Amino acid sequence: MIRTILFATDLGVFTSYVLQHVVALAGSCKARVIVVHVVEPLGSFANAMVKSYLPQASGEALTTAGVEEMLASIRARVKVVLAQEYMDSQDDISFIDDIQVLQGQPAQVILEEAGRRQVDLIVMGSHSGKAMDDHTLGSVANKVLLRAKVPVYVVPMVRRADLSSST
């Protein structure tokens, strides 16, 4: 029985399409949904720039404050996107139990959060939309599929034109 769904999103161009699947699943299963968006840590170049131009204490404070502010901003954006996607009323997205914006390696964080929250299903897109080939499974989806301890519902990301030409 599916009681809790983890919706892993990159907030990319296919978010609303994947969200339609999440809504249908949550409605039919009467499940609650946890939305998870993962922000990758600063790259080595950005870290080197901070270390080069700021004293260590200032750099650490700036990085910590900046990351916290960025995560809060992204969390607010996720709420706006979900509210806009699902009508004028917050009641339409009442099945969303929590929105988490976390920092780390996406596949690892998704799997850790799924385990911590004891979810019954993970829903995600097949790739970020940046893939050169629409039929490619993205690296995050691939890692989650290979390592997940619960079923993973992967929504294939195809262009609308590709859908109409296949019939």
Confidence of residue 89 (pLDDT cuts 50, 70, 90): very low
**Cα–Cα distance measured from residue 99 to residue 38, given in angstroms and rounded to the nearest whole number:** 11
Structural domain including 112 reads 4-165
| pLDDT reported for residue 65 | 63
Q: What is the pLDDT of residue 90?
A: 46
What's the burial of 82, exposed, middle or buried (CB within 10 Å: 0-12/13-18/19+)?
buried
DSSP 120: S
19-29 burial, b at 16+ Cβ within 10 Å, e below that, comes to: bebbbebbeeb
DSSP-assigned states of every residue in 27-95 = HHHT-EEEEEEEEPPPPHHHHHHHHHHS-HHHHHHHHHHHHHHHHHHHHHHHHHHHHHHT-S-GGGGTT
Q: Which two tokens stand for residue 88?
A: 């004028």
- Partners of residue 116 on adjacent β-strands: none
Looking at per-residue pLDDT, the higher value among 41 and 129 belongs to 41
Query: For 22-78, what is each residue's pLDDT tens digit?
Result: 989 999 999 999 999 998 876 565 555 555 555 565 555 555 566 677 778 888 877
pLDDT at 104 (0 to 100):
93
pLDDT per position as a tens digit, 101-114? 998 999 999 999 99
Which is higher by pLDDT, 86 or 41? 41
Q: How many CB atoms lie within 10 A of CB 113?
A: 20
For residue 65, give the CATH number of its domain: 3.40.50.620
> How many domains does the chain contain in total?
1
* Mean pLDDT, range 117-138, rounded to an integer: 81
